[in-house]
Structure 1
């Protein structure tokens, strides 16, 4: 074994002595590989420093990202506890609360008591008719000829039922209790007491736990409970954000007569119940309420999604139709004119060098917001890209087939029809199908800049920074369409290229 090794080593040394260029070439390859990886590592270090990636990661607020993701699959109920000067409270829900009007959820418990309150009440005064006068007179700004005198008010004492205590139970381990100018918050076994003083502001009793934050003394305190929700505690108002999993009112909104009913109750009304609207059946009413759901706007979302699909299809179709004849002018082996070849190729370069988003902004200014701007942007960009791809496919055809057709005396048009088209047509159709599937995604992006379709609606929902569940709904619809079109495109391309599908 040792002799064999020594022999092999000796033989290798002899070969290296006779052919030194072999060893040197191998050494150069190793050096080049080492230099390449060293340069790549140096570039990564430079990029890390130049873009301050470490600082960005350190300063990133990952909690906000988690909150946004939670908002995609949940909804919030946001009651406000408003505190008057005399310490009485009022629990108020937003106008478009997911709970509908007159909400009384079980997790909001209030205690009331009778109290004498002094309020400002208007005093009824007798209107005195003005005297007629033919002379012109200058009047005070608030006075008017024949108008009533300003209403007078005076203090009035009333006995009213007022809220003296409010308790918000987020879950068994998290709650907020408000009573007598003090807020008591409990979360995972920790208790925080906060005094509400109109003179000194919001004052925590003791140190703030990790789930509470206050920017400056006296200002509001934010209580973060993770996926459960959060709250802002201020002197005059405590804003509650209680989060629940799921999408609220996805089928029927709070204005629908079917709101709050179970599936069995809705099915009973639709199939054989008494008409809720004398002018239409319950089935028609239910379907109308679903389509025109004011919170989810299903009909509008589906219409915008269809616009996006049509926008991508029409833009790709027109681009394919225009790029097809132009590609023959750009192909050097088809059109034997260098000037025409270069002019057509530079035209393709111009169209595709301008990004689709820039074309969309241009046509939005030209045509106004809408699908026409989106279709034009797709048409211009894809005409350049498909034209380049088509011309390259033509330049790489097998000339034997074309020469064979030409040898039988066929006309030039027949040579292209039978000698060229059978070779490139499947490739052209395959590339057009791929771009159609890809443009379905691109149409969503350019729609966000005003080019119409679901992209614009998606951007509007994101700008509110509160309708993330609507964003999730539209993203899921887009994914379904993309997956569906990707499968159809792959199937058709496989058939055109003569491949078997699995």
Structure 2
């Protein structure tokens, strides 16, 4: 190996500068690449209006949606009438169940006389035509004895306290609403009509868009409250999923784990015709809030949809790929016909095929299976034919030289080379279609995708949505693991 001294190198560089001078692209390729990347990113920022999108994004609402995925709310309403009577009511389908008496709410009762307006007497009218064809002036009524309002004694709420945390609470009385949080206090006097006017400036955790409008009070992860002129709507939030095991309609609702275990093992029968264990299983599977059995059935429907669609696609693509491979079928017309058929099927997205088959067959898994079958037939056919075109031709030549039949040549000279690749690619598509089946299901093809879309449209069932998302992720993870294991065994590689 020849080694140049420094003087020799300088001498050569002086006589032949073009030899040692770096090329233009060698010097400027990295700056040019960085400049092109910056220009492209700026172009994308301008075309998609990313700056405007970020400016208009309500991160508070986005965070609230994410919190609702892993929390649930109780929503009592404290109503305050003009005569000072208060009442605390829970929504009909509130997860707290019947006869709610939560430990985070203290309600004090009293009795008071209330004047109840009497109903309008039968036959009374405010004007118009009278029976018999006579006409009365508007605002008049037929002669009827005046009915005085009735006075009765009722039990009403005189004070309600809602505790959101150790340092945050809301106290409602007939004359005012008092909110305390972290040493600060907000007082909202009542009895001044529908307008809501706080006594003093609003703290940072309270919001009122316009003077006299409702006041929103935030308590962080513990929830929030809405104060109107005659009511306070409470949103008390807790981590977890409410009534995930047993709904409020179940006989096991509200019981501790030890009580449920005792009933299952040795307790008296809740239903004379069935064991307590059967009752518990039925209550869990048919939980109206979570619909476990229906969700699992839809998930199985999605898995079957992906499996059947992929299987049929592989069965059809297998023989057609031999026609599309140039080294297997020498006919140019047959090659091009098969390849163009594959192009036609895979050029139309699976989602478009799903919409087409949903209109043709109606909503249901048949439409989803047909969409997967059509799309994957083209994709697998192209991959199979390319694998066939890249096989080693020596085994085929050897079998042909000893007089083997064409079928035997393909069976023993071609299939051993490509079969592991075919199965590996089919398994990968099956794994991928398990995810895709969820998307096309939301377009009407059935399965858990449709149920997920229906839950998302309500904008309220976020825990149910997260529950289904977790099931989908778990299913994809399981099938990905199975697919990787099978592909590794077939190809002889290490398991991923």
State TM-score, norm by structure 2: 0.91
Q: Pick from 6, 9, 14: which aligns with 1:8?
A: 6
**Match for residue 219 of structure 1?**
213
Is 1:351 aligned to 2:349, yes or no?
Answer: no
**Match for residue 227 of structure 2?**
233
Is 1:107 aligned to 2:107, yes or no?
Answer: no
**Cα displacement (A) at 1:400:** 1.1
- Once residues 419 and 12 of structure 1 are traced to their aligned partners in structure 2, the CA distance between those partners, rounded to angstroms, is 62
Residues 17 and 72 of structure 1: CA distance in aligned 2, closer, same or farther (over 3 Å): farther
Is 1:83 aligned to 2:80, yes or no?
Answer: yes
CA contact (8 A) 2:324 2:338 kept: yes
**Match for residue 97 of structure 1?**
94
1:419-438 to structure 2, matched below 5 A, reads: 419-438=413-432
Once the two structures are superposed, residues 398-444 of structure 1 have per-residue CA deviations (whole angstroms, 9 ceiling, x without a partner) of 11111111111112222111111111110000000011111111111
Once the two structures are superposed, residues 89-112 of structure 1 have per-residue CA deviations (whole angstroms, 9 ceiling, x without a partner) of 111101111110110112111222
Once the two structures are superposed, residues 255-304 of structure 1 have per-residue CA deviations (whole angstroms, 9 ceiling, x without a partner) of 11111111111111111211111111111111111111111111001101
- Secondary structure of the 1:275 match is coil
Is 1:58 aligned to 2:55, yes or no?
Answer: yes
Residues 45 and 419 of structure 1: CA distance in aligned 2, closer, same or farther (over 3 Å): same
- Once residues 251 and 371 of structure 1 are traced to their aligned partners in structure 2, the CA distance between those partners, rounded to angstroms, is 29
**Match for residue 137 of structure 2?**
none
- Once residues 244 and 158 of structure 2 are traced to their aligned partners in structure 1, the CA distance between those partners, rounded to angstroms, is 35
Using the TM superposition, name which of 404-413 and 340-349 deviates more. Answer: 340-349
Using the TM superposition, name which of 361-370 and 195-204 deviates more. Answer: 195-204
**Cα displacement (A) at 1:390:** 0.8
Q: Pick from 40, 62, 65: which aligns with 1:43?
A: 40
**Match for residue 29 of structure 1?**
26
**Match for residue 280 of structure 2?**
286
Residues 200 and 500 of structure 1: CA distance in aligned 2, closer, same or farther (over 3 Å): closer
- Once residues 175 and 223 of structure 1 are traced to their aligned partners in structure 2, the CA distance between those partners, rounded to angstroms, is 11
CA contact (8 A) 1:214 1:222 kept: yes
Once the two structures are superposed, residues 193-224 of structure 1 have per-residue CA deviations (whole angstroms, 9 ceiling, x without a partner) of 12345536111222222221122211111112
Residues 173 and 13 of structure 1: CA distance in aligned 2, closer, same or farther (over 3 Å): farther
Unaligned runs of 5+ in 2: 123-130, 135-143
Residues 181 and 352 of structure 1: CA distance in aligned 2, closer, same or farther (over 3 Å): farther
- Secondary structure of the 1:252 match is coil
Residues 192 and 6 of structure 1: CA distance in aligned 2, closer, same or farther (over 3 Å): farther
**Match for residue 472 of structure 2?**
478
Tell me the C-alpha RMSD between the 2 structures.
2.5
**Cα displacement (A) at 1:87:** 2.4
**Match for residue 493 of structure 2?**
499
- Secondary structure of the 1:202 match is coil
Using the TM superposition, name which of 226-235 and 196-205 deviates more. Answer: 196-205
**Match for residue 20 of structure 1?**
18
- Secondary structure of the 1:305 match is helix
Is 1:449 aligned to 2:446, yes or no?
Answer: no
For these two proteins, the number of residue pairs brought into alignment is 478
- Once residues 393 and 16 of structure 1 are traced to their aligned partners in structure 2, the CA distance between those partners, rounded to angstroms, is 55
Is 1:309 aligned to 2:307, yes or no?
Answer: no
Once the two structures are superposed, residues 127-181 of structure 1 have per-residue CA deviations (whole angstroms, 9 ceiling, x without a partner) of xxxxxxxxxx9999xxxxxxxxx9x975211011111221111111111111133
CA contact (8 A) 1:122 1:154 kept: no
- Secondary structure of the 2:33 match is helix
Using the TM superposition, name which of 390-399 and 362-371 deviates more. Answer: 362-371
- Once residues 10 and 64 of structure 1 are traced to their aligned partners in structure 2, the CA distance between those partners, rounded to angstroms, is 72
Is 1:275 aligned to 2:272, yes or no?
Answer: no
